[in-house]
């Protein structure tokens, strides 16, 4: 079997009204998605998406003509290309989609088949008043979710703690609340300082008192000692990070030094599916959790889901959802049907071979910009 071409469709959905993502200093007036298709000489086509694939034209020739099933070879080749500036992990997702289709099995089965569904958490985006955040929490709970992640802005921590306290009060002790401080990495051009370690320690302690399930990215990635300090300070709350940690070496040294409770590398942004599985297996051997970031689009979400379900990750899986600003329809605008959770708040691995992606080709044509 041979790869005969790898094509990219660049899509853009205008967002009106815009999304005010807490981690982005600029409101988002559009949402971009690049779809990767691996075309083979046997008529099987693999689909992936996630990162932008900017610069891929210069390295396409490293893959065309190769056997798509030689996954480890391709992972190593993607890593050599990434060193020079790209993050071409959506290609690996498309290759796994080919492998699954050839095997006539869901990719999660090839990754170990540990679970067929995972409890989802509604991963919110916007900073809202306590009352508005409670309204969204009720909507989310009524849709079946048993967990929600709330953003706290470094410049408005009192407002953030008030929102968490209000949701805890309104929904009670059974509803799991995660908090994301988004301090480990930055959008381009965001040069503001992270909160200092003392302020972060005080904040995490208060969140622990509100029975927060995990606190995510409380510090810059470089501050391993600070992460360990937070864990030692707060035995009642988990510390999570790693969504955009691009080097396996760094992730493995986090494991060696026991820096985190929860490891979150996104398989279409950070280290790819094959490497994430290795990390997940090692984390689980050490009794630490693996549950990947999935904040891209429905295709990227599915790639992460197959890895997480395959290796038995969890206990919750990220489902980007913050109505009305961020909905499954916006997030998955290129899919025939948006990825949904079931009435129990779980996200099920599609039973179809491969990643189970079904594109809406009309939408792909309509929203294509390149
Ligand atoms: Mg995050």
Are 265 and 276 a contacting pair, CB within 8 Å? Answer: yes
The Cα 48–Cα 264 span in angstroms is 19
The Å distance, Cα 41 to ligand 1 centre, comes to 39
Residue bearing tokens 């599916």:
273
pLDDT digits (tens, 9 = 90+) for 18-31: 999 999 999 999 99
pLDDT digits (tens, 9 = 90+) for 168-209: 999 999 999 999 999 999 999 999 999 999 999 999 999 999
Are 335 and 362 a contacting pair, CB within 8 Å? Answer: no
The Å distance, Cα 179 to ligand 1 centre, comes to 9
Instruction: Give the chain's mean pLDDT.
Output: 97
The Cα 94–Cα 5 span in angstroms is 12
DSSP result, 3-42: EEEEEEEEEEEEEEEEE--TT-SS-EEEEEEEEEEEEETT
Are 24 and 187 a contacting pair, CB within 8 Å? Answer: yes
Q: Copy the structure tokens of residue 293.
A: 């970031």
Q: Quick check: pTM over 0.85?
A: yes
The Å distance, Cα 217 to ligand 1 centre, comes to 7
Cα 132-239-330 angle, rounded to 5 deg: 40
Among 249, 257, 196, 252, which residue's Cα sits nearest to residue 231?
257
The Å distance, Cα 147 to ligand 1 centre, comes to 15
Return all residues near 129 (Cβ < 8 A) that are at least 6 apart: 159, 163
The Cα 244–Cα 312 span in angstroms is 21
pLDDT digits (tens, 9 = 90+) for 323-350: 999 999 999 999 999 999 999 999 999 9
b/e for 253-276, b at 16 or more Cβ within 10 A? ebbeeebbbbbbbbbbbbbbbbbb
The Cα 295–Cα 95 span in angstroms is 21
Domain 109-348 is in which class?
alpha beta
The Å distance, Cα 268 to ligand 1 centre, comes to 14
Are 94 and 37 a contacting pair, CB within 8 Å? Answer: yes
Are 31 and 15 a contacting pair, CB within 8 Å? Answer: yes
Whether the predicted pLDDT of 309 surpasses 90: yes
Q: At what angle do helices 89-103 and 272-285 cross, to 10 degrees?
A: 90
Whether the predicted pLDDT of 146 surpasses 90: yes
The Cα 169–Cα 173 span in angstroms is 8
The Å distance, Cα 292 to ligand 1 centre, comes to 10
The Å distance, Cα 300 to ligand 1 centre, comes to 15
The Å distance, Cα 201 to ligand 1 centre, comes to 18
Return all residues near 114 (Cβ < 8 A) that are at least 6 apart: 309, 310, 311, 312
Are 318 and 123 a contacting pair, CB within 8 Å? Answer: yes
The Å distance, Cα 75 to ligand 1 centre, comes to 25
pLDDT value at residue 142: 97
Among 259, 207, 182, which residue's Cα sits nearest to residue 228?
259
What percentage of residues in the chain have a pLDDT greater than 90? Answer: 99
Residue range 264-289: mean pLDDT, rounded: 98
Q: Report helix, strand or coil for 102.
A: helix
The Å distance, Cα 8 to ligand 1 centre, comes to 27
In the chain, which segments carry CATH 3.30.390.10?
3-105+361-367
The Å distance, Cα 366 to ligand 1 centre, comes to 31
The Å distance, Cα 185 to ligand 1 centre, comes to 9
The Å distance, Cα 184 to ligand 1 centre, comes to 9
The Å distance, Cα 216 to ligand 1 centre, comes to 6
Residue range 74-80: mean pLDDT, rounded: 98
The Å distance, Cα 4 to ligand 1 centre, comes to 37
Q: Copy the structure tokens of residue 148.
A: 């929600």
pLDDT value at residue 262: 98
The Å distance, Cα 243 to ligand 1 centre, comes to 6
The Cα 20–Cα 39 span in angstroms is 37
pLDDT value at residue 130: 98
Burial class (CB in 10 A: 0-12, 13-18, 19+), 251: buried
The Å distance, Cα 65 to ligand 1 centre, comes to 37
Residue range 71-90: mean pLDDT, rounded: 96
Q: Copy the structure tokens of residue 159.
A: 């407002």
Are 69 and 99 a contacting pair, CB within 8 Å? Answer: yes
Q: Which CATH architecture has domain 3-105+361-367?
A: 2-Layer Sandwich (3.30)
- HSE-CB at 105 with a 13 A cutoff on CA atoms is 13
Confidence class of residue 370 from pLDDT cuts 50, 70 and 90?
confident
In the chain, which segments carry CATH 3.20.20.120?
109-348
The Å distance, Cα 290 to ligand 1 centre, comes to 14
Q: Copy the structure tokens of residue 14.
A: 């205008």
The Å distance, Cα 198 to ligand 1 centre, comes to 21
The Å distance, Cα 173 to ligand 1 centre, comes to 23
The Å distance, Cα 153 to ligand 1 centre, comes to 12
The Å distance, Cα 245 to ligand 1 centre, comes to 11
pLDDT value at residue 67: 98
Q: Report helix, strand or coil for 238.
A: strand
Can you state the percent helix, strand and coil of the chain, rounding each to 5? 35, 20, 40
The Å distance, Cα 361 to ligand 1 centre, comes to 31
Alpha-carbon Rg for the chain in angstroms: 20
The Å distance, Cα 115 to ligand 1 centre, comes to 24
């Amino acid at each position: 079997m041979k790869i005969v071409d790898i094509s990219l469709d660049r899509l853009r959905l205008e967002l009106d009204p815009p999304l005010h993502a807490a981690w982005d200093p600029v409101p988002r007036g559009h949402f971009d998605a690049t779809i990767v298709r691996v075309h083979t000489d046997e008529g099987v086509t693999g689909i992936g998406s996630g990162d932008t694939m900017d610069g891929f034209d210069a390295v396409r020739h490293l893959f065309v003509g190769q056997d798509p099933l030689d996954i480890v070879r391709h992972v190593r080749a993607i890593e050599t290309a990434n060193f020079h500036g790209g993050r071409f992990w959506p290609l690996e997702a498309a290759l796994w989609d080919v492998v699954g289709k050839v095997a006539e099995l869901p990719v999660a089965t090839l990754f170990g088949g540990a679970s067929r569904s995972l409890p989802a958490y509604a991963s919110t985006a916007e900073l809202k008043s306590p009352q508005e955040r409670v309204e969204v929490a009720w909507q989310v709970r009524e849709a079946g979710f048993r967990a929600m992640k709330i953003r706290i802005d470094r410049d408005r921590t009192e407002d953030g703690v008030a929102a968490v306290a209000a949701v805890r009060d309104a929904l009670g002790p059974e509803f799991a609340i995660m908090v994301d401080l988004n301090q480990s990495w930055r959008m381009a051009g965001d040069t503001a300082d992270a909160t200092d370690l003392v302020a972060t320690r005080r904040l995490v302690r208060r969140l622990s008192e509100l029975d927060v399930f995990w606190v995510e990215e409380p510090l810059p990635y470089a501050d391993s000692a600070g992460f360990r300090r937070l864990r030692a300070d707060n035995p009642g709350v988990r510390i999570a990070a790693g969504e955009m940690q691009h080097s396996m070496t760094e992730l493995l040294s986090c494991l060696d030094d026991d820096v985190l409770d929860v490891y979150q590398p996104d398989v279409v942004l950070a280290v790819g599916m094959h490497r994430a599985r290795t990390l997940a297996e090692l984390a689980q051997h050490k009794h630490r959790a693996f549950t990947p970031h999935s904040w891209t689009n429905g295709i990227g979400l599915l790639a992460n889901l197959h890895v997480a379900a395959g290796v038995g990750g969890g206990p919750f899986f990220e489902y980007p959802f913050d109505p009305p600003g961020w909905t499954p329809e916006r997030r998955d605008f290129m899919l025939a049907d948006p990825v949904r959770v079931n009435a129990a708040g779980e996200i099920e691995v599609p039973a179809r071979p491969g990643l189970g992606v079904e594109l809406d080709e009309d939408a792909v044509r309509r929203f294509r910009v390149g």
